[in-house]
Amino acid sequence: MTAGPVAGVVRVPGDKSISHRGAILAALAEGVSHLRGFSPAGDCRATLTVLRSLGVSVDFDVDGDVVTMESRGAGGLAQPGMALDCGRSGTTMRLMAGVLAGTSFRSTLVGDEQLLRRPMARVAEPLRRMGAAVELSPEGTAPVTIHGARLTGIEFELPVPSAQVKSAVLLAGLRALGPTVILEAIPSRDHTERLLEWLGGPIVRTPGRTTVRAGELRPFDLDVPGDVSSAAPLLAAAALVPGSNLTVRGVGLNPTRTGFLRVMERMGVEVETLPGEFDPEPAGDLTVRPAPLRAVTIEAAEVPALIDELPLVGVLATQADGDTSVRGAAELRLKESDRIAGLMAGLRALGADAEELPDGFVVRGPVRLRWGVVAARSDHRLAMAFTVAGLVALDEVDVRGLEYLPDSFPGFAETLGALR
């Protein structure tokens, strides 16, 4: 269909990753904490629900995006009277496993059907080494039953880049005897580390190595910047549609999360960054204007910094001159859906020249996309990517699965519509 330019100034919901971690650290700090700009996404609400079930007082002023939490500290978490429902949020399940490993009680983490299919052994293995008893299904998935214990610090090298596994081990390390050391060859998002440093927590960082020790945390007031992953589909839309000029205010610019911006620049998109004032996370304003797109190659080392945005790279690639290839992204198969298979199937349904690889994909462009029916496969990232693809299709694209958009960006369709 013919789309008008994507133009204007907009703000996006608060960063999901920081919201999850801010809420969990507030629950581990004795006293009252305030989180402003907290994400209204369903995944982050799941974390709040779990924390309430553990005895933490949580008040969420949705209109003001402010969460107020009062906690008795890590030692004051209460044994839940029922299984802890993580909804559709893998971040909630994996990070809370790290918190619960150091308690004195038994707890079970459950969730939506798609969450029960996602791998949890990668979190269970280091927590078992620290002394917790962790039970999984025979397939290595949830439910996750944790018998908390007095933990001992370990040295753990991440087998694959994973901020969720890293954060789970760091959170467990806050209640372990002796140092807990994380080694990572390829940096993953570092929001947990930044927050702990900002709080004056017992953490020391050097390149590729992070060490935490047991310690108490103080309550805090945190301003959560906008989520760059929620800004990404709007920015991609502006990059695709001629005449666009879009500015997103107050968005997080953590360098472990801005790989998509760097890739867009390599593809020829005009990306302007104006740093702002945020602490402990860098943030600022982003402005994007379209330009003729060229193909790029993305290797494994780049993947952690744009793992959530790779479906959008595939959409941009359909309009880029040449062959765009992504390798080293097998982790995409373990998200809410198999995002490699889902993305390739959807793009091919719209007429794209798209090839699925075991650990990535190749898209050859430019191709004028046509009308089609595409399935988001219960995956909010695919739903947003296919919605953006529809802006440059010959006729309206029927995206099945838009009901999952609130997992990360409530009001996405309305926000995009208001900018056109």
Burial of 113 (0-12, 13-18, 19+ CB in 10 A): exposed
Q: Which residues contact 353 (CB under 8 A, 6 or more apart)?
A: 363, 364, 365, 367
HSE of 216, CA atoms in CB hemisphere, 13 A:
9
The tokens for 141 are 């998935």
Token pair 């029927």 in the structure block, residue: 398
Is residue 399 a contact partner of residue 374, using CB atoms and an 8 Å limit? yes
Candidates 223, 158, 304; CA nearest to 168 is 158
Nearest-angstrom CA–CA distance, 153 and 131: 9
> Is 379 a residue of the active site?
no
Of 88, 73, 77, which is closest to residue 52 (Cα–Cα)? 77
Bridge partners, 70 (sequence order): 32, 57
Nearest in space to 410 (alpha carbons), one of 37, 112, 42, 16:
42
Q: In what order do the strands lie in the sheet with 245-252?
A: 7-10, 245-252, 283-289, 270-275
List the structure tokens of 362: 């190749």
**DSSP code string of 193-249:** HHHHHHTT-SEEEETTEEEE----B---EEEPPBPHHHHHHHHHHHHHSTT-EEEEE
Q: Which candidate in 43, 285, 308, 379 is catalytic?
A: 308
- H and E: helices and strands count for the chain: 12, 24
Beta carbons of 370 and 340 less than 8 angstroms apart: no
- Give me the sheet containing 322-326, strands edge to edge: 297-298, 322-326, 360-365, 353-357
Please list the active-site residues: 308
